[in-house]
Structures are given as structure tokens and as C-alpha cells.
Amino acid sequence: MKITAIYPGSFDPITNGHTDLIHRAARLYDRVIVAVAASPKKSPLFSVDERVALAEQVLAGMDNVEVRGFDTLLADYARECDAQVVLILAYTDQFSNSGQILDAKRVLKLVDALADEYERFYFRGLVSERRGRAMLNESMSRSFTFEYFREALQWYEQAQVKRPENNDDAILRWNACLRTIRREHLQPRADRDEAHLDMEC
């Protein structure tokens, strides 16, 4: 069965970070659709047609990558494209401290819908890691940061067991989390159980 992945975003304009993820996805999946959202409420710098054209120029030569504009609900568009995978990273990039609990719950619904067990574990780890990173510069939230990185480590460990051949993403992310914990001198809270409950409020 051929797997189609969809990478949604505003791409206003496409960046090196976007391009790196697309290259990685193109190695993992048979077909990758870069879905450029119209996003009129965000007042984008470029029109959707301009953003599509820019992305096509940057990604020229990648045979299994398509660039398309869309202005519908992502879930509907993913079904329309027959996409089995939504690249969750696009959503975790948007985490902010004030709204990340709601954002994370939306992302986790997408994660839990993934059919592949490796991807469920890997993206669960990614969500926890990104929530932790979003809190690193927030003094009031920093005390929770270790718990998110601890969760990420556990999810990445489970993903590593289920990883596809030649896919080292989970162990690379595990190492990145560990380096962050050490560099930032993160420590578990004394009231760890209560802290974990607060994280899910």
C-alpha cells in the first residue's frame, strides 16, 4: 500500500525548516502533498497562488512531492487527497504557552488517528517535546518543563522499538531531549504527581 502524507501550513513564504521536513518526509512516504492554506485571517504576506509558486520553485525536482493550495478544513482536505498521514510537526510549531493545552489536545486527536504504531509513539513524543520547549523561556511554567521532556523520552523509547528500517528519528529526538535537560539543568518537581495533574488542566 502506498502512503500519502500531507504537510499543511501557510508557508508565507516557505523556509529552510519547511524544506528540511519535506525532504525527510519524501524519503519516508511514497507521496507528499505540501498543502498551502489560504489563511486569509492571518493576513499573509503573499497570496496563496504566490506561496504555491514559491514552494514549487524551491521543491522542483522532487518527484514524489506535490504543492497545492487549499481553503477548506484540513480534515476534509486530507480525506480528499486520500492522505493517511498528516505531518503533526506543522501544528506543534504553533504552540504558544497561553494556548498550548488546547492546541496540544487538537494535535493529539490527529496523532491518535494515525494507523501506524511507530508514528503514534513518535508524534506523541514530539508533542511532549514541543510543549516542553515552548515553556523553556516562561519562568512561571518552567517548573513543568522537565515533566514534558520526561514524557517525550518515554514516547521516543517506545517509538524506537517500533521504528521502520533505517529510520533513526526517534533516537535522534531522544538524544536532543536529553541534551536539553542537561543544558537547561531541568529537574523534576518535588510535587511531581500534583504537577502532572496540573499539566493536563
pLDDT (tens digit, 9 = 90+) per residue, 92-127? Answer: 655 654 445 556 776 787 677 666 788 789 889 988
Which ranges of the chain would DSSP assign to H, the alpha helix? 16-28, 48-58, 74-80, 89-92, 100-112, 117-135, 142-162, 169-183, 192-199
Q: Select from 3.60.150.10, 3.40.50.300, 3.40.50.2300, 3.40.50.620 the CATH code of 1-87.
A: 3.40.50.620
Instruction: Give the separation between CA 102 and CA 106, rounded to whole angstroms.
Output: 6
Residue 5 corresponds to which cell in the numbers above? Answer: 502524507
pLDDT of amino acid 67 = 97
Are 1 and 85 in contact by the 8 Å Cβ rule? The answer is no
Question: Whole-model pTM?
Answer: 0.58
Cross-strand partners of 70: 37
Give me the DSSP letters along 184-201.
Answer: TT----TTHHHHHHHHT-
Residue-range domain boundaries for the chain: 1-87, 98-201
